[in-house]
Structure 1
Amino acid sequence: MAMTSLARRRATSLFNSSILRGSAFSRSFASGSDDNDVVVIGGGPGGYVAAIKAAQLGLKTTCIEKRGALGGTCLNVGCIPSKALLHSSHMYHEAVHAFPNHGVKFSQLEVDLPAMMAQKDKAVSGLTRGIEGLFKKNKVNYVKGYGKFAAPNEISVETLEGGNTVIKGKNIIIATGSDVKSLPGVTIDEKKIVSSTGALALSEIPKKLVVIGAGYIGLEMGSVWGRLGSEVTVVEFASDIVPTMDGEVRKQFQRMLEKQKMKFMLKTKVVGVDTSGSAVKLTLEPAAGGEQTTLEADVVLVSAGRTPFTAGLGLDAIGVETDKLGRIPVDHQFMTNVKGVYAIGDVIPGPMLAHKAEEDGVACVEFIAGKEGHVDYDLVPGVVYTHPEVASVGKTEEQVKAAGVAYRVGKFPFMANSRAKAIDDAEGLVKILAEKETDKILGVHIMAPNAGELIHEAVLAMQYGASSEDIARTCHAHPTMSEAVKEAAMATYDKPIHM
């Protein structure tokens, strides 16, 4: 059977790295007296996936999780519950604003917030139990408690039951994720001033919501409450929302959010907070300095980013180094400066994304088992789950320009897509960047309903080094939203048909 180009590259990488590394398996398993082959600290997307993969590779594995519920921030108070509320609030918003245009009318419509929250909680609890089931299926030992290093191969665990136990392992993986980044002078009480965790559990719909930070999380949570009736104002220190996003797409995205009545105060910083009254009073001033103003809100969401969670792990005691941002530097096999101690996910440099942490976890234990792990950080997709969604992979146009690469751009609007027009949901576009000389795809950016699903055609194409013509000459079913990707590819290397 012919070997694919990607398989050849990985096989070559395995051969070359094995020469450079010698035997990773024998190095990692130098100590033969320890109880576990792998101990994972943290049961989030990176940690639980690493634990399951390690067990599947035949390694005796223990996973330690302080929360008492697997899935980490993502499943318990992040990705999953936020997407549940995004979907529920979108259904309500559609019922109010879109259903009449489709001939569906109601005499009365209201939000049952407790029922909405219950649906979210049901999704979370079901998925958490599912991971525990996977642990049992794959024979992963699960310890509920807070673990910290007693030695490079020993973890002391304060169990949730109140006792203490020591877990030994030949290889320890730190997968403790990240926590909310605080702001000076802003105290999060999860009532009036909330993190994303508190924003997922509000007992009533705030009349006025101020979001500090115009990144992925802030815009998503602002969308949830804005759809349900809150007046949402986003305060952002930078000059743009989602600064990592392609500039052209970002401008269209912001206009779309403004059409949904979300307000933006860019190049603005919070310099004071007063919670003494019934409302929260924020004191604001221009980022560059200047006259101060005040802004009132019922609830303030602090969404200024996340920071690696390594507190209380005892890293200093065993000599694990961290950088000035609190991240743990690792080599290409995810090993820290201490032999046998590894780190993955949000605690190491790179995007703080659940799917990136999962890839880290698989690759890390593959290295531990003497195999060749693989993560292409240039091809980690990012998605903002608003409506429309915005998804991207690869380079932005600004990055391509800065690199001095000659390139072509192809764009196709969903206003010209038959499926989007048929369902009356045609805001957005597909934008493809390709190298001018070779037509190799450099980046793809999509703003559309379900952009987070559409982007993976581009991820796979770029993983195999495809050209825009390769996508353009691939048959796409009609009528589908994905035809816009094909048309944008046609516009990149030649001309589109339907525009």
Structure 2
Amino acid sequence: MDARANHYDLVVIGSGPGGQKAAIAAAKLGRRVAVVERRDHVGGVSLHTGTIPSKTLREAVLYLTGLQMRDVYGSSYRLKDRITVPDLLARLQHVIGREVEVVRNQLARNQVETVVGSARFAGPHEIEVTDADGDVVRRLGADKVVVAVGTRPARPAHVEFDGVRVVDSDGILDMSEVPRTMVVVGAGVIGIEYASVFAALGTRVTVVESRPRILDFCDSEVVEALKFQLRDLSVTFRLGETVASVSAGESGTVTTLASGKRVPADCVLYSAGRQGATDGLQLAAAGLEADARGRLQVDKQFRTDVEHIYAVGDVIGFPALAATSQEQGRLAAYHAFGEPVSSVLELQPIGIYTIPEISYCGDTEDQLTTAGVPYEVGVARYRELARGQIIGDSYGMLKLLVSTEDRKVLGVHVFGTGATELIHIGQAIMTTGGTVDHLVDTVFNYPTLAEAYKVAALDATNKMRDLERFDL
């Protein structure tokens, strides 16, 4: 194969959400594009061990346990008495298989070449692709490069992972049976999502977190509501505690905390951070350097310190979500080729698929208070809505934060059924500069959960009206 056949306008390293969208966006601009993926199946971590598996597992658990319908049919309602790992994995494998085909077809339809192997830089514009034995099988030249390699679970040296009793968020999908008890180390998004899923299955879960709060970037009232629901599922929280050691044997594990507490359990899920998967890229050959956690620094155009090399997705840090990674990939491709592009990425929704789920967009109360921005709060509770009664969700809530100066919506926070879907209504209002009055004047279908926006908007405007009456 001659040099011209191996030269591309853009080479994307990694085929996860960010890499896919970068490659397809560049291809639609008429550029010659190749994606290098070390797995035989495209889709990256998001599709094989991250977003798609964990969310599919969550839906399977909700369905098989009947958890969401217990307020309707009674606390003993359950679709299946004994839920096994094969019950959960059957749907999982089906969804992953279908999604792999979707991604593969999208790349092929846009004439993006997929190169299987591990990528590493041989120079700023040259990428070597190696096979499983480390032998170079292709050398690709690239005018532009997008690094979208994602992350892998961090594995502290003092914890012995055996893949059976002590696992990370990748290994949790390979468990042979549903544990009776579990310790989850780390109360970030991944840890709390899995803690809630296994608690719904009936596993007694203990969450250990070194920080005094879980999900400290979320609205504090919403987080407290989540903790209440998880405690109702027999989850125990050990906050402000660090893990000194984890020992595992044939009968189970013992997690020893720095305070001296010892927590026995069938298994331990260690989910305390992730590491950028950049160590095999030979970044120095391209003039790049990762930080201590393997992440790359980028500017507002997702460009690294090397002008023609971009990075997107989890490898650049927070928020490390599939949705934002996709948009970052699209934007990076447009910036790379000098195409005009606009985005409202600063108002991205954050979705956390706990049970119940959380989603928000915009500022939190803490952020507005710190910034000295005057605001009013409007709240709607699902139990006040006919739809909430119909579906049996008595705990859900929607919260609006509204500027008392110009009446614009500054933040939307949703907790409960459909939170990650409902958030987009608030996001649309905010991105168009809409005010709370727009929500008051809008007619929503009845009965729906979306009505919560009108109820919360009325709550906020009534409070603002009262304030105006007493304003001296």
- The bucket for the TM-score relative to the shorter chain is over 0.9
Cα distance in structure 2, aligned partners of 1:420 and 1:142: 47
1:256-271 aligned at under 5 Å gives the runs 256-271=229-244
% same residue = 35
Does the CA-based 8 Å contact 2:66-2:78 persist in structure 1?
no
Out of 37, 43, 66, the residue aligned to residue 38 of structure 2 is: 66
Please state how far the C-alpha of 1:102 moved relative to its aligned partner.
Answer: 7.2
Specify the alignment match of 1:27 in structure 2: none
Cα distance in structure 1, aligned partners of 2:63 and 2:294: 40
Cα distance in structure 2, aligned partners of 1:310 and 1:108: 43
Change in 2 beyond 3 A, CA 1:166/1:275: same
Specify the alignment match of 1:317 in structure 2: 285
SS in 1 for 2:305: coil
Specify the alignment match of 1:382 in structure 2: 350
Specify the alignment match of 2:58 in structure 1: 86
Please state how far the C-alpha of 1:229 moved relative to its aligned partner.
Answer: 2.3
One-letter amino acid of the structure 2 residue matched with residue 192 of structure 1: R
Change in 2 beyond 3 A, CA 1:368/1:273: same
Out of 112, 115, 137, the residue aligned to residue 140 of structure 1 is: 112
Specify the alignment match of 2:168 in structure 1: 195
Specify the alignment match of 2:93 in structure 1: 121
Out of 297, 304, 318, the residue aligned to residue 350 of structure 1 is: 318
Q: Does 1:474 align with 2:442?
A: yes
Specify the alignment match of 1:306 in structure 2: 274
Please state how far the C-alpha of 1:342 moved relative to its aligned partner.
Answer: 1.1
Specify the alignment match of 2:203 in structure 1: 230
Cα distance in structure 1, aligned partners of 2:103 and 2:237: 39
Name structure 2 gaps, 5 residues minimum.
Answer: 465-472
SS in 2 for 1:275: strand
Change in 2 beyond 3 A, CA 1:33/1:141: closer
1:28-427 aligned at under 5 Å gives the runs 35-94=7-66, 98=70, 101=73, 109-159=81-131, 164-286=137-259, 292-427=260-395
Does the CA-based 8 Å contact 1:68-1:160 persist in structure 2?
no
Does the CA-based 8 Å contact 1:144-1:160 persist in structure 2?
no
One-letter amino acid of the structure 2 residue matched with residue 234 of structure 1: V
> Could you say what the CA RMSD is over the residues aligned between the two structures, in angstroms?
2.3
- In the comparison of the two structures, how many residue pairs are matched? 460
Q: Does 1:457 align with 2:402?
A: no
Cα distance in structure 2, aligned partners of 1:97 and 1:489: 28
Cα distance in structure 1, aligned partners of 2:128 and 2:191: 36
Cα distance in structure 2, aligned partners of 1:457 and 1:107: 33
Please state how far the C-alpha of 1:406 moved relative to its aligned partner.
Answer: 1.0
Q: Does 1:448 align with 2:416?
A: yes
SS in 2 for 1:196: coil
Cα distance in structure 2, aligned partners of 1:60 and 1:447: 44
Cα displacement string for residues 428-470 of structure 1 (whole angstroms, at most 9, x for unaligned residues): 2111112210111111100010100000111111111111222
Does the CA-based 8 Å contact 2:64-2:80 persist in structure 1?
no
Does the CA-based 8 Å contact 1:328-1:343 persist in structure 2?
yes
Cα displacement string for residues 62-106 of structure 1 (whole angstroms, at most 9, x for unaligned residues): 000112211111111011111111111111221697287279978
Cα distance in structure 1, aligned partners of 2:237 and 2:75: 34
Please state how far the C-alpha of 1:305 moved relative to its aligned partner.
Answer: 2.1
Does the CA-based 8 Å contact 2:42-2:103 persist in structure 1?
yes
Specify the alignment match of 1:15 in structure 2: none
TM-score, normalization: structure 2?
0.92
Cα distance in structure 2, aligned partners of 1:320 and 1:455: 38
Change in 2 beyond 3 A, CA 1:263/1:152: same
Does the CA-based 8 Å contact 2:62-2:68 persist in structure 1?
no
Specify the alignment match of 2:469 in structure 1: none
Please state how far the C-alpha of 1:370 moved relative to its aligned partner.
Answer: 1.9
Specify the alignment match of 2:467 in structure 1: none
Change in 2 beyond 3 A, CA 1:349/1:453: same
Does the CA-based 8 Å contact 1:433-1:443 persist in structure 2?
yes
Change in 2 beyond 3 A, CA 1:76/1:107: closer
1:4-19 aligned at under 5 Å gives the runs none
Cα displacement string for residues 223-258 of structure 1 (whole angstroms, at most 9, x for unaligned residues): 222222211111111111111111111111111111
SS in 1 for 2:341: coil
One-letter amino acid of the structure 1 residue matched with residue 229 of structure 2: M
Cα distance in structure 1, aligned partners of 2:166 and 2:139: 38
Change in 2 beyond 3 A, CA 1:460/1:97: closer
Change in 2 beyond 3 A, CA 1:454/1:297: same
Change in 2 beyond 3 A, CA 1:399/1:129: same
